[in-house]
Structure formats: structure tokens, C-alpha cells
Amino acid sequence: MTQPRAIRTLGLVHIYRSEGHDVAALSGVDLSVDAGEVIGLLGPSGSGKSTLLALLGGLFRPSAGKIFVGDHELSALTPAQLDAFQARETSLMLQGAGRNLVPYLTVRENVEFAAAEARRLGAEVIGVDRGLELVGATDFADVPLRQLSQGQLQMAALAVAMAPAPGVLLADEPTSALDRVARERIVEALLRVNREQGTTVVVVTHDPEVAARLPRTVTIRDGRIGGEGRSGQEYAVVTADGFVPLPAHIREELPPGTLLRIEPSGEGYLLVPEVKGEGGQE
């Protein structure tokens, strides 16, 4: 078993520069993931979900806000501490299996390569064979990468990511460009990793079928958390500063500038539009 880590972000803002302009990828994300939980990050392209994943993996430093992974506040880590954090505590699976693998090594060698630094730092890593077995990559462990299918490569990438027995597994589109069978195997493997190792798993996905398999999903929209789904039920999320993003279908009916009256109603609240906006304000 690994040491599952909880994840918490507070007012996470990330701004990057593109073609001379500042672009806000994330505009105040508050997210909590319990240790040992499995969540999916959903959202349209450019919504900021991959950026959020990269921030959780320590690839960027946020422009503002804080990220806690286990006991670590990532912004406070020195480069060496961040290296150690990446070696032992968290594993990031990049989109595209090949980008996670050293091309001239076999799957087994890749797993060994990935575990080496964690082992050197004294972490208790999963054995190579155990890691391969965990994700179902034993059959092709010694086959050169160029002979593997896309699905096998993705399994190999997952095995590599799990090699250091991380507390958190961050997977960016692990099922993209895969057929249904391969996709199912990957999702199964991810859930097995969580189940058997207790690893906290954060998966970025576009795929509604994959999302449906996950116990919790968080939708990122326009750099904010736009909603959350639990066991098939969609929820709006109240942010730390009291904002509640409206679900997409309601936003279409309530153009920007609409004035709402909010009244308690039984166990819930009633939103009553008083003055309709004209849509000129976003």
C-alpha cells in the first residue's frame, strides 16, 4: 500500500503569457480531494483542467493561491524538495503514452528507471513485477516499445507512473486515442491502482464514458470549478468566496446582467429572475 495523499487547492490562480498577452488559465480554483479518492477533471478544451493537473504535479508554480498535497504546500518547496516530491509523492502521466516512456527501454526497464530515484531517496516502492501485475502489463514487460499497441503503451505508461508507489497519481487523458477495449482496461487499471494501493487518483478526461465510471467528477469551466458530479448526480459548487456557477443550461436562459432574487424554499433555495440581462456583459 502507498501513503495516499489528500489534495487541496485554495484560490488557485494561474496566468501565463501568450503572444504578448496575459491569459488566466485558472481563476481561483478551490478543490479538495480526499486521500485515496478517485476523481475526474472534466471540461471543454482550454478550460484549464490540464493546467490544474500540471500545477498539482508541481510542473508550474501558481500565480496565486496555494496547493497542498499531503503535508506539502507546493509553492513553498525548494527545487530539490520538489524533485523529491515528484520522485516519491506524486506521479504525472502525460497525455500520449510515448511521452511517459524512455523509447529505447522495455516496459520493465522503464518501470525500473522510474522507481530508481524514489528508491534512492528511501521510499518504499512497488516491486517491478508487482507494478506490472497491478496494471496488467506483465505479458509485454520485456517487449520493445515499438512493438506495443497504443493500449499496451498506455498500460506501460501507467505502470511507469505507479513504479515509485506515489501517493497521488495524476493522469492526463489516459484513454485518448484508444479503442473501447483498451479504454476499459485503462480505467480498470486506474481503479485497481486506487483500490489495491490506496493511491489518490486524479484523471483528466474528455470522455463521458470514462467520467461515468469515476465516483466523483469536477468540471472546470473558464478556469473555475463549474460543477461537480457524484455518482451520476451533477452539483453546483459554492466557492470559498461564495460564488456559485450556474449550470450551463440555466446560463443560457439567464444572460449576463440578469438580477436574481434568492429565497429559501423548503430544503433548498429558489432563484427568481427579477430583471433580465441583455447579454452585453460577460
Partner 1 sequence: MRAALRYRRAQALAVAVLAALVTMCLVLAPLYTRALEQAMVGMTLREAAAERAGVRLASTSATDRSLAVDPAGLTALLPASIRDDFGPPIAATAVDVRKMPLLGQPGGQLLARAGQCDHVRFTAGACPTEAFDVAISTDQATAYGLAVGQSIEVGEFDELVSLPESAPRTTLRVVGVYDQVDGPYWFGDRLTGQAAKNLGYDTMLTAPASFTASLALPGGGSGGWFQPRYAVDLPLLPERVSSDDLDGLGSTVARLTEFPMGVENAGSHVAATVTVRSGLPAIADEMAVGRSQAAITVPLLMAQLGLLLVAVLWLILVAASDQRRAEVAVARLRGRGSRGARRLLVAETLPPVVLGVPVGAVLAVGAVSATRHTVLAFGDWVPPFELPVWAYAAALAALAGMVGLVLLSVQRVCREPVASLIRSVPPRPTGIRLGVLEGMLVASAAAAFLALATGPVRGPVGLVAPTLLALAVGVIASRVLPSLLAFGGRRLLRSGRPASGAALLSASRRGTTRWLVPVVTVALCITVVTTDALAVGARNRDGRAAAEVGAASVFELDSVDLAEVVTAVRAVDPGGAHLTPVVAVTPSEAGRPTTLGVVPGEFRRIALWPGVDVDALPWDRLTASPVPPLVVQGTAVSYHVQATGFRPVGSLRQAAPTALAIGLRVVRGDGRVESMSLGLIPEGGVDADQTVPLDCADGCRIAGLGIIAPPSTAPVAGTLTLSKLAVGGAAVDLGGSGAWRDVSTSDSAASAVFRGDGVTISYSNGPSSTIFVNHGSVPGVVPALTTAAARPSAQGATFAGSFVDGSPLLMRSEGGVAFAPGGPTSTALVHLDNLLAQGWTGRGSASLTAYLDSADPATVARVQQDLAAHGIAVLGVRHPEQLAQTYARSAAAWSLQLALAVGVLSLLVAGVGIIVLASTSWRARSRDYAGLRMAGATARGVGLVAHLETAPVVVASAVLGAVIGLWAAPPAIGMVPLFTTPPPTFPIDLTTAWGLCLLSGLAGLVVLTVVGAVMSRRVAARSELARLRETT
Site residues for partner 1, 121-150, by CB under 8 A, read: 121
Question: Does residue 165 belong to the site contacting partner 1 (CB under 8 A)?
Answer: no
Binding test (CB under 8 A) with partner 1, winner from 43, 48, 57, 245: 57
Take residue 156 and report the three cell numbers written for it: 506501460
Whole-angstrom distance between the N-terminal and C-terminal Cα of the chain? 48
Minimum distance from residue 208 beta carbon to partner 1 (Å): 23
Binding test (CB under 8 A) with partner 1, winner from 103, 122, 264, 268: 103
Contact 170, 95 (CB under 8 A): no
Looking at beta carbons only, is 81 or 265 nearer to partner 1?
81
Site residues for partner 1, 16-55, by CB under 8 A, read: 54
Take residue 71 and report the three cell numbers written for it: 503535508
Give the residue carrying C-alpha cell 470514462.
210
The 3-class SS string of 54-113 reads HHHCCCCCCCEEEEEECCEEHHHCCHHHHHHHHHHCEEEECCCHHHHCCCCCEHHHHHHH
3-state class (DSSP) for residue 171: strand
Looking at beta carbons only, is 72 or 213 nearer to partner 1?
72
Contact 160, 82 (CB under 8 A): no
Site residues for partner 1, 68-87, by CB under 8 A, read: 79-80, 83-87
Look up residue 161 and give its amino acid: A
Query: For strand 64-69 and strand 38-42, is the pairing parallel, antiparallel, or unpaired?
Result: unpaired
What distance in Å separates the CA atoms of residue 165 and residue 199, rounded to the nearest whole number?
A: 8
Q: How many residues bind partner 1 (CB under 8 A)?
A: 35
Looking at beta carbons only, is 130 or 216 nearer to partner 1?
130
What distance in Å separates the CA atoms of residue 236 and residue 225, rounded to the nearest whole number?
A: 9
Question: Does residue 242 belong to the site contacting partner 1 (CB under 8 A)?
Answer: no
Question: Does residue 117 belong to the site contacting partner 1 (CB under 8 A)?
Answer: yes
Minimum distance from residue 105 beta carbon to partner 1 (Å): 6
Specify the stretch interacting with partner 1 by CB under 8 A; choose among 69-77, 94-102, 218-226, 252-260: 94-102
Looking at beta carbons only, is 165 or 214 nearer to partner 1?
165
Take residue 154 and report the three cell numbers written for it: 498506455
What distance in Å separates the CA atoms of residue 273 and residue 259, rounded to the nearest whole number?
A: 6
Looking at beta carbons only, is 85 or 207 nearer to partner 1?
85
Site residues for partner 1, 166-185, by CB under 8 A, read: 177
Binding test (CB under 8 A) with partner 1, winner from 67, 118, 162, 165: 118
Looking at beta carbons only, is 146 or 180 nearer to partner 1?
146
Binding test (CB under 8 A) with partner 1, winner from 41, 92, 182, 189: 92
Q: Which of 256, 244, 101 is nearest to 163 (CA)?
A: 101
Site residues for partner 1, 195-234, by CB under 8 A, read: none
Question: Does residue 112 belong to the site contacting partner 1 (CB under 8 A)?
Answer: no
The 3-class SS string of 178-221 reads CCHHHHHHHHHHHHHHHHHHCCEEEEECCCHHHHHHCCEEEEEE
Minimum distance from residue 274 beta carbon to partner 1 (Å): 46
Residues that bind partner 1 (CB under 8 A): 54, 57, 59-60, 79-80, 83-88, 91-92, 94-96, 98-105, 109, 113-114, 116-118, 121, 163-164, 177
